[in-house]
Amino acid sequence: MTDVSVKDLGDDLAVPDPVQPKSRLRSVFARDRKAQVGLFIMLFFTLTAILAPLIAPYDPNEMTLDMMTNPSGTHWLGTDDLGRDLLSRIIWGTQISLFVGVSTVALALVGGVILGVVAGYYGGWIDNIIMRYIDLQWAFPNFIIAVYLVAVFGTGLLNVIVAISLAFLDDFARIARSMVLTLKEEQFVDAARVQGFSDARIMFRHILPNALAPLIVQATVSVSYAILGEASLSFLGLGVNPNTPTWGLILADGRSFISQAWWLGVYPGLAIMLVVLSINFVGDGLRDALDVRETGS
């Protein structure tokens, strides 16, 4: 995030202060109970993911003869049909979920922003080509795009990440483009042009920092969609490879046994819901803080 401060203004005289997200954020998070809870849960799961090797009580793939045992002192969340410890599997699953969520959105953000900024800044035939593609992608629900891409290119962690991020590309491109369209008429852009800065510099150093607020909100919400998307793909057998403990896959594996072992159907989903809920709480707080109108997408 480029934060333009006074010392930079020496050579970019005309650059106005972009939204000062930090100070506004701090005041909103101080008041918004929901966002605080969200942040706390996010922190909890992030730590869980990082510390998984240390805190997981068992090897997530170690099969034992204690099959489908009830939650108890030895296995807090019970075991699955192969005698694997459910808690350990869920703890390791946190890594995959968060990794997919964050890396997917990072890719989609970078790709979408470049497309959108270029389209909005140059206009003309470049805009036309990019926007026709974006419109085409708009004709599919995001999840269907991801399913189709995985169907074509195959399953596996990397493919899932690429598929979901491609599916999100149009959302970011649209937002970036519309922000650029309004901002490029501003005087500070003319001023930058007069100073002879390159197009790339004007686009990414001058315009983009002023368009960050809606992109930040969209990115936050998209992380939750990405996590849900990965879980759904894995649940359908189109996600990461079998044997990798991910929340979607744990649920899919446990599905056949839920009438005897309810915990296999309950806890992995609870983990997904808590993470997604916390991101939505934080996203909502950010939306209020940065004053971005809800688009509903």
Partner 1 sequence: MASYILRRLIGSLLVMLAVATLVFFMIRLVPGDPIAAMLADSGGPEAREALIRKLGLDKPVLVQFWKWFIAMLQGDLGNSIYGNNQPVTTILIEALPRTMSLAFLSFIIALVIAIPAGIISATRKNTATDTAVSLFAFLGLSMPDFWLAILLIIVFAANLQWLPAIGYVPLAEGFWPWLSHLILPSIAIGTGFSAIIARMIRSSMLEVMQADYMRTAASKGLTMRVQMLRHAFPNALIPVVTVIGIAFALLISGAVVVENVFAIKGLGRVLIQGIQNRDYPVVQGAVLVVSAFFVLSNLAVDLLYAVIDPRIRYS
Nearer to partner 1, 47 or 151 (CB): 151
Q: Is 90 in the site for partner 1 (CB under 8 A)?
A: no
Nearer to partner 1, 29 or 140 (CB): 140
Q: What backbone phi and psi angles, to 5 degrees, belong to 79?
A: -125, 165
Number of residues that bind partner 1 (CB under 8 A): 44
Nearer to partner 1, 207 or 230 (CB): 230
What tokens does 179 get?
A: 């922000």
Quote the CA–CA distance of 294 and 174 in Å, as a whole number: 15
Q: Which stretch binds partner 1 (CB under 8 A): 81-89, 116-124, 183-191, 255-263?
A: 255-263
Choose, by CB under 8 A, the member of 71, 111, 269, 288 that binds partner 1.
269
Query: Do residues 209 and 166 touch, judged by C-beta distance below 8 A?
Result: no
User: CB of residue 45 vs partner 1: minimum separation in angstroms?
Assistant: 13
Choose, by CB under 8 A, the member of 228, 249, 286, 289 that binds partner 1.
228
Q: Is 151 in the site for partner 1 (CB under 8 A)?
A: yes
Quote the CA–CA distance of 142 and 154 in Å, as a whole number: 17
Q: Is 259 in the site for partner 1 (CB under 8 A)?
A: yes
Q: Is 194 in the site for partner 1 (CB under 8 A)?
A: no
Q: Which stretch binds partner 1 (CB under 8 A): 65-73, 86-94, 185-193, 280-288?
A: 280-288
Q: Is 280 in the site for partner 1 (CB under 8 A)?
A: yes
Q: How far is CA 285 from the centre of its chain?
A: 16
Q: Is 281 in the site for partner 1 (CB under 8 A)?
A: yes
Chain positions 91 to 150 lying near partner 1, rule: CB under 8 A, are: 135-136, 139-144, 147-148, 150
Q: Is 40 in the site for partner 1 (CB under 8 A)?
A: no
Quote the CA–CA distance of 86 and 76 in Å, as a whole number: 8
User: CB of residue 236 vs partner 1: minimum separation in angstroms?
Assistant: 5
Q: Is 258 in the site for partner 1 (CB under 8 A)?
A: yes
Judged by the rule CB under 8 A, the positions of this chain that interact with partner 1 are 135-136, 139-144, 147-148, 150-154, 224, 228, 231-232, 235-238, 248, 251, 255, 258-259, 262, 265-266, 268-269, 272-274, 276-277, 280-281, 284, 294, 296-297
